[in-house]
C-alpha cells in the first residue's frame, strides 16, 4: 500500500516541460551579461513553477539586487535561508541587501533551546514529518498485531510502547510544522512603500510607512489586510498585496 503512494508521488514530481537546468543556465548567462531584470524574470519563472532550491533563490536574489528590486531580493534571500539555513553566501548577501535598504532588522541570536527547537523542526521537511507519522503508524499497528495474535513477548511490548511514543511525537511535529507553513508569520515589504494603517480598512488613518524590503512579523490577518509588527514594536495593518509572506 505504501509503495503505491510513493509511486503516485514520484509521478507527480517528475512532471515537467523543459529541463530546468537549461533554463537556469540561460538565466545565469543573462546575469553575466548584466541583463539583470531579464535574468531575474527567468529565475522567477522557475520559482513560480515550484522548484525549491536555495541556489535558485540566491541567484534570483542577486539578479533582483542588481536590478534594484530590493523587496524581491530580500524575499529571495530569506527564502533561500529558509531552505538552507547554514548557507554562508545567502547569509552574507541577505546582510548586504539589508544594509543597502538601511534595515537594522537583524534578528536576535537564538537561545540554545530555541536553536535546538529550530534544528528539531528542520530534522525533516514538512512532508517528511507527515510521512514519518504514517510509517510509524504502520509499524505501531504491525507490532501491536503481532503482539496480539502471534507472540506475547515482552520485547514486542517494549517496541510497541516506543513506536507509540514516536508516533505521537511525529504527529505533533507534523501538525506544528504544517501549521507554521500554512500561517507564515514573516513578511517582506514589496514594491515601494507599504502604508501602515490604524485599522484593516483602506480609509483608516495612516500611521507610518515602511520601506521596501523591510522584514515584518505578521501577527493577524483578515481577507485583505495583515496586521504587522515591526522590530521596534510598532504595529498596524497593511494591505495584503503590499507584503509577501515567506
Partner 1 sequence: MIHMTRIGKKSILTLLACCTAIVAMAQADFRFSTQVSSNTVALDEAFQIQFTLENAPNLSQLLPPDFKDFDVLQGPMQSNSTSITNGRRTDVVALIYLLRPKRIGNFTLAGATARVDGVTRKSNPVTIEVVKAVGNRNNLPQPQHQPQQMPQGYGRRPSQGIEDQPSIVRKGEDVNEKLRKNIFLKVDVDKTSVFEGEQVTATYKLYTRLNTSSNVTKVPAFKGFSAKDVELPNPPQATIETVNGATFKVFTIRKTMLFPLQSGALELDPVEVDNQVRLIKLGANTRRNQQLDDPNFRDVFGNSPFDDPFFEDFFNRPEVTYEDVPYKIKSNPVTITVKPLPTAHRPASFTGAVGQFEMTATGDKKTLSTDDALTVKVTITGVGNVNLMRAPEVAASDAFEKFDPKVMDNIDKNSNPLSGSRQFEYIFMPREAGAQTLPAVEFSYFDPKKGEYKILRSPDFPLQVSAGKNTNKDKQDYSNLGRNDLSNIYPTVKGWVKQTPYLFGKPLFWALLVLPLLLYGGVAFYRRKQEYKVNNANVLRHKNANKVALKRLELAARYLKEEKDKAFYEEISRAVWGYLSHKLRIPMAELSKQLVQEKLQDKVEESNTRELFELLDNCEMALYAPVGSSQSRQHTYRQAIDVISKLEDELKKVMA
Interface residues toward partner 1, by CB under 8 A? 1-2, 5, 9, 12-13, 16, 20-21, 24-25, 28, 31-38, 49-53, 55-56, 58-59, 62-63, 65-69, 88-90, 92-93, 96, 126-127, 129-131, 133-134, 137-138, 140-142, 144-145, 148-149, 174-175, 177-178, 181-182
Q: Cβ 112 to partner 1, closest distance in Å?
A: 28
Q: Cβ 33 to partner 1, closest distance in Å?
A: 5
DSSP code, position 200: S
Query: In this structure, what C-alpha cell is assigned to residue 112?
Result: 540554545
- CA 84 – CA 54 distance, rounded (Å): 6
Q: How far is CA 44 from CA 7, 25, 149, in A?
A: 29, 13, 56
Q: Which is nearer to partner 1, 10 or 203 (CB)?
A: 10
Q: Which is nearer to partner 1, 131 or 207 (CB)?
A: 131
Q: Which is nearer to partner 1, 55 or 217 (CB)?
A: 55
Helix (H, G, I), strand (E, B) or coil at 98: helix
Q: Cβ 74 to partner 1, closest distance in Å?
A: 13
Q: Which is nearer to partner 1, 31 or 226 (CB)?
A: 31
Q: Cβ 235 to partner 1, closest distance in Å?
A: 29
Q: Which is nearer to partner 1, 21 or 104 (CB)?
A: 21
Asked whether 231 and 98 are in contact (CB, 8 A), the reply is no
Q: Cβ 244 to partner 1, closest distance in Å?
A: 15
- CA 156 – CA 40 distance, rounded (Å): 57
Q: Cβ 209 to partner 1, closest distance in Å?
A: 19
Place of cell 516541460: 17
In sequence order, what are the beta bridge partners of 194?
Answer: 210
Q: Which is nearer to partner 1, 179 or 224 (CB)?
A: 179
First vs last C-alpha separation in the chain: 35
Asked whether 213 and 70 are in contact (CB, 8 A), the reply is yes
Q: How far is CA 189 from CA 40, 73, 192, 193, 217, in A?
A: 18, 11, 8, 7, 11
- CA 232 – CA 150 distance, rounded (Å): 63
Amino acid at each position: 500500500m505504501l509503495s503505491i503512494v510513493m509511486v503516485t508521488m514520484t509521478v507527480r514530481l517528475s512532471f515537467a516541460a523543459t529541463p530546468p537546468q537549461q533554463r537556469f543556465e540561460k538565466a545565469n548567462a543573462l546575469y553575466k551579461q548584466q541583463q539583470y531584470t531579464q535574468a531575474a524574470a527567468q529565475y522567477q519563472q522557475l520559482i513560480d513553477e515550484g522548484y525549491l532550491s536555495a541556489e535558485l533563490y540566491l541567484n534570483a536574489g542577486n539578479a533582483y539586487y542588481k536590478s534594484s528590486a530590493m523587496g524581491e531580493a530580500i524575499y529571495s534571500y530569506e527564502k533561500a535561508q529558509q531552505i538552507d539555513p547554514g548557507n554562508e553566501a545567502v547569509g552574507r548577501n541577505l546582510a548586504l541587501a539589508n544594509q543597502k535598504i538601511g534595515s537594522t532588522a537583524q534578528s536576535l541570536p537564538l537561545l540554545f533551546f530555541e536553536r535546538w527547537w529550530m534544528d528539531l523542526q528542520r530534522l525533516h521537511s514538512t512532508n517528511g514529518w507527515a510521512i514519518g507519522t504514517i510509517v510509524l503508524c504502520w509499524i505501531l499497528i504491525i507490532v501491536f498485531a503481532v503482539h496480539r495474535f502471534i507472540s506475547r513477548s515482552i520485547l514486542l511490548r517494549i517496541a510497541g510502547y516506543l513506536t507509540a511514543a514516536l508516533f505521537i511525537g511525529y504527529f505533533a511535529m507534523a501538525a506544528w510544522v504544517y501549521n507554521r507553513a500554512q500561517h507564515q508569520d514573516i513578511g517582506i515589504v514589496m514594491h515601494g512603500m507599504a502604508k501602515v494603517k490604524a485599522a484593516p480598512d483602506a480609509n483608516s488613518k495612516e500611521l507610518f510607512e515602511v520601506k521596501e524590503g523591510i522584514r515584518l512579523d505578521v501577527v493577524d490577518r483578515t481577507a485583505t489586510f495583515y496586521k504587522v509588527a515591526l522590530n521596534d514594536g510598532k504595529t498596524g495593518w497593511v494591505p495584503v498585496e503590499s507584503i509577501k509572506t515567506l
